[in-house]
Amino acid sequence: MNETGPPPPIQPGGMFDDIRLSAVLLGVLVDTAATVLGSLVLLSAFMSRDGREPSDEVLRELSATPEFLLASLVVGLMCTVLGGYVGARRANRAHVRHGAWIAVGSALFGLAQFAVAAPGAPTPPLWFDLVGFSLMIPAGAGGGLLARVASRPAARGPS
């Protein structure tokens, strides 16, 4: 009987194998900066539409409208896709895994912001947070997938 041993693993053994921490941190930074910028643009757009000046009352009212919440969700997830893309391109390996870890880092950063939020500050409804945090990892992995597709060498046609 010929025993050759177990087959080689399809992927690296651990979930942190082949991960570049600097690329993950870059992706989290890009996601966070893009989210802050995107949120400011979104707030400006919604407030100028109504012609109102920024105040706590206006922010509280705005954060309760479904249109603003949906737009915020889309902007936030697109920023996570961007962060996953940039970080995975920087790593130039294990693209989808890098994108997913970038999303995990961004989610942890977002949860930390909840912990230090000022009491009485406007907060979104629970469904918004649940949907947003549950879609972050797929969004980051999607950014990593886009990075993998973009990093493939272009197929050359007939010369």
Give the pLDDT score at 56.
Answer: 72
Q: What is the pLDDT of residue 18?
A: 81
pTM: 0.82
Nearby residues of 50 by Cβ (< 8 Å), 6 or more positions away: 58
Task: Give the pLDDT confidence score for residue 47 in this predicted structure.
Answer: 82
Which segments of the chain have a pLDDT < 70?
Answer: 1-3, 7-14, 154-159
pLDDT digits (tens, 9 = 90+) for 59-92: 788 888 899 999 999 999 999 999 999 999 999 9
Report how far residue 145's alpha carbon sits from residue 85's, in angstroms, rounded to the nearest whole number.
8
Please tell me what DSSP assigns to residue 11. Answer: S
Residue 76: name the closest of 22, 135, 141 by CA: 135
- pLDDT on residue 117: 74
pLDDT given for residue 75 in this prediction: 96
